[in-house]
Amino acid sequence: MFSPNSLQPRMMLVNRFSCTLKNQSVKIGHCSKVPRNVNMEKLQHGYLFPEIERHELIHIKKYPNANVIDLGIGDTTKPLPTIVTSSMVDFVRGLSTAEGYKGYGPEQGEKALRKAIAHKIYKNLDIKPSEVFVSDGAQCDISRLQLLMGPNLKIAVQDPSFPAYIDSSVIIGHAGKFVDRIGKYENIEYMTCGPQTDFFPDLHTISRPQLIFFCSPNNPTGHAATRKQLQQLVDFAKVNGSIIIYDSAYSAYITDNSPKSIFEIPGAREVAIEVSSFSKFAGFTGVRLGWTVVPEELLYSNGFPVLHDFNRIVCTCFNGASSISQAGGLACLSPEGLNAVQSLVDYYMENARILVNALTSLGLTVYGGKNAPYVWVRFPGSKSWDVFAGILENAHIITIPGSGFGPGGEGYIRISAFGQRDSIIEASERLKYLLYQEGL
Ligand code: MLT
C-alpha cells in the first residue's frame, strides 16, 4: 500500500530542490514530475478583476481611513426582492422535510425553469425548453463551451471585451504566444469595436473565424448592437461557417429597440449559441444562476448537432445548478418577480444616468450608460492604468482600466453603475472635483 513514508529519502531530497520558473525561484514545496500546462504559461497576468481587488487592498492598507468607493467589478449591491428570497427560503425549508427533500436534479436544469426561460425571456422567439441549459453563470458556461469546441480553433473577439473570452481561449489552446509590442495573442482576431465604427467590427477586415465571441450590450463599452449590425454578424457567420457565442448577460438593461437576443435575428438559429445570466438581470452575482441556449439547427461541419455534444459536456462536467438558486430564478420569472427585478434594473440605470451627467458636464467623452450599467469614459492621450491609479489615489474610487479589456480599451476607464445611490452621488462629486479642479 502507498504510504508517504515509503518514499526513498534520496528521491525526496531531489524533489525538494527549488524549482526554477522563468526568473522566479520557488523556494518551498515539492516539484512534481508534471509539466506546467503550456497554455497556462502563456497567460500574461492574473485575471483582471482579482488584479483590481489587489490594487484596492493595497490602497486600503495605505489609507486605512479612506472611504473607498468600489465602482470596479460589476457587482450588484441592491437587496434581492422578497418574492425571490421567500421562494428560496420556502424551498430550503422543504429540504428539511420528507416531502420537500430533493437530491440531484437534471444536469440541464429543472424543467419548469427551462420552460420559463424559453417562454418568458425568449417570448415569441420559438426557443424550445430542451434547447435551454440552466447553469451556474455565463462565465462558467463560456469555459464549458470552450471545452465543447476543443483547442486550436480560429477565434475572433470584440476589442475591447469581457476578459474571460480571451483568457479561456488561451487556456483551452486557441492562442499562440503573446506579442508584447501590440498587446495581443497570436491566432486571436481582435475585432476593433470603437466609436469610429459605431462599436461594431469592420467585418470586411476579419479573416474567417471559426468561433466569434460577441457580447451585446458590450461589456465594457455599454454599446448595444443594432438590429442591422447583428444581421450583418449573422450573415457573416453563415457565409464563413462560423459559430457565434453570443453573450446577452446585460440584455435586461437595453432601453432602446436594440435586440435583446441574437435569436431575434433571422438565420441566427443556424449560427449562434447564446449565454446569459441572472447575475445582472436579477442581482444573482452571489446566488449564481445562468443559462445557455443551443438551437437544434446548429450543426458541426460533419452535420452532427452541437446541442447533443453540449448536453454531453453538461452531463459530464456539471451536476446542474443549485436547486435553491433555481427556485429563486423561477420566482424572478413570475409576473411579480419580473416587475421586482425590473425595478432593480431601473435603479442601476438611474445610477448610470447620474454618472454620465457628471462626467459629460466636465466635457469628457462618455459612452455607455444608456443600454448597459457601465460608463465608458475616454481620456485621450492617457494610459488607462495611469487614469485608474490617479482616480484611486486622489478620489479613493475604484474603476477599471479600459486596457484590461484588450488593447482597444487603452485610453478609457470603465465605471460600474451597480453601486448604492449615495455612493454613486458621492463618487460623481469626487470625480467632478478631481477632474475639474485638478485635472488628471
Ligand atoms: C464585470 O465587472 O465585467 C463583470 O461583472 C465581472 C463578471 O461578470 O465576472
The backbone torsions φ and ψ at residue 400, rounded to the nearest 5 degrees and listed phi first, read: -125, 130
CA distance 300 to 271: 10
Q: Which residue among 71, 135, 219 is best mutated to probe the pocket of ligand 1, counting the most ligand atoms within 8 A of its Cβ?
A: 219
Ligand 1 near 219 CB (within 6 A): yes
Report CA(73)–ligand 1 centroid distance (Å). 6
Atom 1 of ligand 1, nearest CA residue = 74
Q: Ligand 1 center to residue 361 CA distance, Å?
A: 27
Query: How many angstroms separate the CA atoms of 209 and 41, rounded?
Result: 24
Q: What pTM, to 2 d.p., does this model score?
A: 0.93
Which of left, alpha, beta for 322 (phi over 0: left; psi -120 to 50: alpha)? beta
Distance 353 CA to ligand 1 centre (A): 20
Taking 60 as the threshold, does the pLDDT of residue 2 lie above it?
no
- The residue count of the chain comes to 440
The helices-and-strands tally (H runs, E runs) of the chain is 14, 17
The pLDDT of 268-284, averaged and rounded, is 98
Rounded to whole angstroms, how far apart are CA atoms 4 and 336?
59
How far apart CA 380 and CA 362 sit, in angstroms, is: 14
Please state the atom number of ligand 1 nearest to the C-alpha of residue 285: 8
Please report the atom of ligand 1 found closest to the CA of residue 73. 2
By the 8 A CB rule, do 19 and 26 touch?
Answer: yes
pLDDT class of 220 with cuts at 50, 70, 90: very high
Which of 73, 400, 412 has most ligand 1 atoms within 8 Å of its beta carbon, as the pocket-test mutant?
A: 73
User: How far is 68 from 53, CA to CA, in rounded Å?
Assistant: 12
Residue 199, C-alpha cell as written in the block: 462599436
pLDDT confidence of residue 192: 97
- Cβ atoms of 256 and 371 within 8 Å: the answer is yes
- 92 pLDDT more than 70: yes
Q: For the segment 240-255, what is each residue's pLDDT rounded down to a tens digit?
A: 999 999 999 999 999 9
Shortest-distance Cα residue to atom 9 of ligand 1:
139
**Ligand 1 pocket, mutate which of 162, 250, 413 (most atoms under 8 A from CB):** 162
Report how far residue 373's alpha carbon sits from residue 252's, in angstroms, rounded to the nearest whole number.
10
Kindly state if the Cβ of 125 falls inside 6 Å of ligand 1. Answer: no
CB 374, CB 74: distance < 8 Å: yes
Q: List the residue whose alpha carbon is closest to atom 5 of ligand 1.
A: 74
The pLDDT > 90 percentage for the chain reads: 92
CB atoms within 10 A of CB 60: 13
| pLDDT of 12 higher than 90 | no
Whether 14 shows a pLDDT value over 80: the answer reads: no
Alpha carbon of 164 to ligand 1 centroid (Å): 9
Does residue 73 line the site of ligand 1, with CB under 6 A?
yes
State the Cα–Cα distance between residues 148 and 312, nearest whole angstrom: 9
Residues 6+ apart with CB under 8 A from 249: 138, 215, 219, 275, 276, 277, 279, 280, 281, 290
Task: Enumerate domains of the chain plus CATH numbers.
Answer: 10-26+42-75+341-437 (3.90.1150.10), 82-336 (3.40.640.10)
What is the pLDDT at residue 45? 87
Q: Which amino acid is at 294?
A: V
